[in-house]
């Protein structure tokens, strides 16, 4: 790797999208747990 190569860092939009997808994944996981609890208590 040459000293003139750019930093190997994704652009800001990509990082923002990854953060959003991570949050969405957490929300989906929590929703699944809630659904399981509701189904289990019926």
Please state the separation of Cα 24 from the chain's center in Å: 6
Q: How far is residue 8's CA from residue 3's CA, in Å, rounded to a whole number? A: 12
**Secondary structure in 3-state letters for the chain:** CCCCCCCCCCCHHHHHHHHHHHHHHHHHHHHHHHHHHHHHCC
Q: How confident is the model at residue 33 (pLDDT cuts 50, 70, 90)?
A: very high
Digit-coded pLDDT (tens) for 2-19? 566 667 777 899 999 999
Digit-coded pLDDT (tens) for 20-31? 999 999 999 999
Q: Whole-model pTM?
A: 0.61
Q: How far is residue 33's CA from residue 42's CA, in Å, rounded to a whole number? A: 15
């Amino acid at each position: 790797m040459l000293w003139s190569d750019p930093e190997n860092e994704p652009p800001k939009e990509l990082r923002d999208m990854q953060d959003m997808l991570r949050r969405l994944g957490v929300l989906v996981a929590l929703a699944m747990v809630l659904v399981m609890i509701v189904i289990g208590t019926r």
